[in-house]
């Protein structure tokens, strides 16, 4: 229900009552001094965010406000919340007439730690008071700081091919929406920044709980023959050492800076331009009647996130085998532990063709292919690599 609408309907039915109330309030004011008006912040409670309350109005004054047909602008001229120091326009919200007070509910919860100014102009009451404009400053307390959020690692972890297209940064807790590129830096071994290394996006690529961000190298510098590649060269050069650093000014989701000092040093290696070829992987069959892990080893590092999604095991009937999988820290070994013991028979490793390595080479297709010379082969959604358990 929209409270303002309620007041409008009351006005239409109650012109006479409004006149009577105005008279009553005027008469009552002759008899005794009105209570002082106070403006207070009502702290948040449960799921109800903080509100601003006006108290000290008499019951007839409240009733007069209720009966008056005040527009949104009229309300804001009488009773406004603004951001302190930034107060040309009032904060948007709903006005509530309670039994003994007026209340303002901001449309968006007030920011903890930010100062706001409440302004109440008593001359704008339906029956004006001579108290003038009352103001007060309010502030929602900042939440107590929890454990400091830190960078827990990056992927890939080993040697990075010089045509690496993307990497991931992992955090111990959810992060803010700030742009990653303001805080992530690629350095040469000596600490000098490698400029214009990353792809500037106007969207941020996080996982659902904002604990993993994807950072892309500028593909224009990665792809051979493109002007940035020709003019600037690749950001990574095989044989050199680099570091990824993360600035502690990056805020976590609670608004606190992260732990300082994260630095991941790595070496760049030769470009990886081969397509991902599951037939070349080494499969170590586990013993039957056991729940030992099936171990699949890749000849080079694959994309950690995609490996977790794009690999599975199917039984002879083609149905998925239930189980849990982990990828080793080096992103080159995938270990699948079945929920039920292995049986003798035929199985298949299921590989979705979306699987890529960090340089963007997909299953059966390199990141860069000579245009119009590439065979028009059908890309299948999945590739099966059969194996037998005896």
Partner 1 sequence: MKIGLKLALVLGVAALTVSTQIAARPAAMVPAGPAFKAIGPLAFGPNGVLFAGDRDAASIYALTLGSESAGAKPGTAEVAGIDQKIAEVLGTAAAEITITDLAVHPQSHNSFVSVMRGQGANAQPALLRVDGAGAIQVVDLTKVTFTSVTLPNPPAANPSGRNDPRTQTIMDLAYVNGRLFVAGLSNEEFASKLWSVPYPFATTDRGTSIEIFHGNHGRLETNSPIFSFVSYNVAGQPTIIGGYLCTPLVKIPVSALKPGEKVMGTTIAELGAGNRPIDMIVYSKDGQEYLLMSNTSRGVMKIPTAQFATAAPITASVGGTRGTFETIAALQGVEQLDLLDTGRSILIVKTATGRNLTAVVLP
Among residue numbers 46 through 75, which ones bind partner 1 (CB under 8 A)? 47-48, 59-60, 62-63, 66-67
Q: Which two tokens stand for residue 6?
A: 């309620």
From residue 233, how far is each of 228, 271, 285 by CA, in Å?
Answer: 7, 13, 44
Neighbour count for residue 380 (Cβ, 10 Å) = 12
Nearer to partner 1, 112 or 285 (CB): 112
Site for partner 1 in 233-262 (CB under 8 A): 251-255
Q: Cβ of residue 241: shortest distance to partner 1, in angstroms?
A: 26
Q: Does 352 bind partner 1 (CB under 8 A)?
A: yes
The three-class DSSP label of residue 285 is coil
Q: Do residues 37 and 56 lie in contact, with contact meaning Cβ atoms separated by under 8 Å?
A: yes
- Which residues are CB-neighbours of 354 under 8 A, at least 6 positions away? 306, 309, 310, 362, 363
Site for partner 1 in 5-34 (CB under 8 A): 6, 10, 14, 17, 20-21, 23-24, 27-28
The three-class DSSP label of residue 23 is helix
Q: Does 275 bind partner 1 (CB under 8 A)?
A: no
Q: Does 177 bind partner 1 (CB under 8 A)?
A: yes
Nearer to partner 1, 128 or 320 (CB): 320
Q: Cβ of residue 92: shortest distance to partner 1, in angstroms?
A: 5
Residue for token pair 């008056």: 68
Number of residues that bind partner 1 (CB under 8 A): 111
Q: Does 165 bind partner 1 (CB under 8 A)?
A: yes
Q: Cβ of residue 42: shortest distance to partner 1, in angstroms?
A: 12
Q: Does 320 bind partner 1 (CB under 8 A)?
A: yes
Q: Which of 133, 145, 205, 346 touches partner 1 (CB under 8 A)? A: 205
Nearest partner of 323 among 296, 300, 298, judged by Cα:
296
Q: Does 98 bind partner 1 (CB under 8 A)?
A: yes
Q: Does 203 bind partner 1 (CB under 8 A)?
A: yes
Q: Which of 43, 109, 132, 299 touches partner 1 (CB under 8 A)? A: 109
| Whether residue 156 has a cis bond before it, omega within 30° of 0 | yes
Q: Does 313 bind partner 1 (CB under 8 A)?
A: yes
Neighbour count for residue 325 (Cβ, 10 Å) = 17
Q: Do residues 199 and 217 lie in contact, with contact meaning Cβ atoms separated by under 8 Å?
A: yes
Nearer to partner 1, 132 or 346 (CB): 346
Q: Does 322 bind partner 1 (CB under 8 A)?
A: yes
Phi and psi, residue 359, nearest 5°: -95, 5
H/E/C letters for each residue in 34-88?
CCCCEEEEECCECCECCEEEEECCCHHHHHHHHHCCCCHHHHHHHEEEEECCECC
- Which residues are CB-neighbours of 93 under 8 A, at least 6 positions away? 81, 104, 105, 106, 107
Q: Rounded to the nearest 5 degrees, what angle is found at the Cα of 226, between the Cα atoms of 222 and 231?
A: 85
Q: Cβ of residue 255: shortest distance to partner 1, in angstroms?
A: 5
- Pick the piece of the chain touching partner 1 (CB under 8 A) from 120-128, 155-163, 241-249, 307-315: 307-315
- Which residues are CB-neighbours of 265 under 8 A, at least 6 positions away? 189, 241, 242, 243
Q: Which of 5, 36, 202, 317 touches partner 1 (CB under 8 A)? A: 202
Nearer to partner 1, 89 or 241 (CB): 89
Q: Does 214 bind partner 1 (CB under 8 A)?
A: yes
Q: Does 110 bind partner 1 (CB under 8 A)?
A: yes
- Pick the piece of the chain touching partner 1 (CB under 8 A) from 156-164, 265-273, 278-286, 357-365: 357-365
Q: Cβ of residue 137: shortest distance to partner 1, in angstroms?
A: 14
Q: Which of 181, 283, 305, 385 touches partner 1 (CB under 8 A)? A: 305
Q: Does 161 bind partner 1 (CB under 8 A)?
A: no
């Amino acid at each position: 229900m929209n409270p303002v609408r309620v007041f409008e309907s009351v006005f239409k039915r109650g012109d006479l009552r409004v006149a009577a109330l105005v008279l009553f309030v005027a008469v009552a004011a002759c008899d005794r001094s009105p209570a002082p008006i106070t403006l207070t912040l009502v702290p948040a409670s449960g799921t109800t965010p903080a509100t601003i309350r006006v108290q000290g109005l008499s019951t007839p004054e409240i009733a007069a406000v209720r009966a008056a047909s005040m527009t949104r602008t009229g309300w804001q001229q009488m009773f406004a919340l603004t951001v302190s120091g930034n107060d040309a326009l009032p904060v948007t919200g709903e006005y509530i007439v309670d039994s003994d007070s007026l209340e303002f509910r901001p449309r968006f919860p007030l920011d903890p730690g930010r100062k706001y100014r409440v302004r109440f102009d008593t001359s704008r009451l339906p029956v004006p008071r001579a108290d003038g404009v009352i103001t007060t400053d309010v502030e929602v307390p900042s939440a107590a700081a929890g454990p400091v959020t830190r960078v827990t690692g990056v992927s890939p972890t080993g040697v990075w091919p010089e045509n690496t297209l993307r990497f991931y940064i992992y955090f111990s807790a959810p992060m803010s929406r700030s742009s990653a590129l303001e805080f992530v830096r690629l350095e040469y071994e000596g600490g000098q920044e490698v400029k214009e290394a990353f792809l500037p996006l106007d969207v941020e690529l996080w996982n659902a709980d904002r604990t993993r961000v994807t950072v892309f190298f500028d593909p224009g510098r990665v792809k051979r023959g493109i002007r940035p590649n020709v003019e600037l060269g690749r950001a990574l050069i095989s044989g050199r050492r680099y570091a990824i650093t993360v600035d502690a000014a990056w805020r976590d989701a609670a608004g606190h800076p992260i732990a300082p000092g994260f630095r991941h040093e790595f070496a760049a290696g030769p470009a990886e331009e081969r397509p991902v070829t599951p037939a070349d992987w080494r499969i170590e069959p586990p013993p039957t009647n056991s729940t030992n892990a099936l171990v699949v080893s890749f000849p080079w590092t694959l994309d950690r996130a995609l490996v977790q999604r794009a690999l599975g095991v199917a039984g002879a009937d083609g149905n998925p085998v239930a189980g849990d999988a982990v990828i080793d820290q080096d992103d080159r070994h995938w270990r699948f532990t079945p929920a039920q013991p292995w049986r003798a028979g035929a199985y298949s490793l299921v590989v979705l063709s979306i699987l890529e390595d960090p340089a963007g080479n997909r299953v059966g297709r390199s990141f860069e292919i000579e245009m119009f010379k590439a065979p028009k082969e059908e890309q299948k959604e999945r590739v099966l690599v059969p194996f037998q358990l005896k």
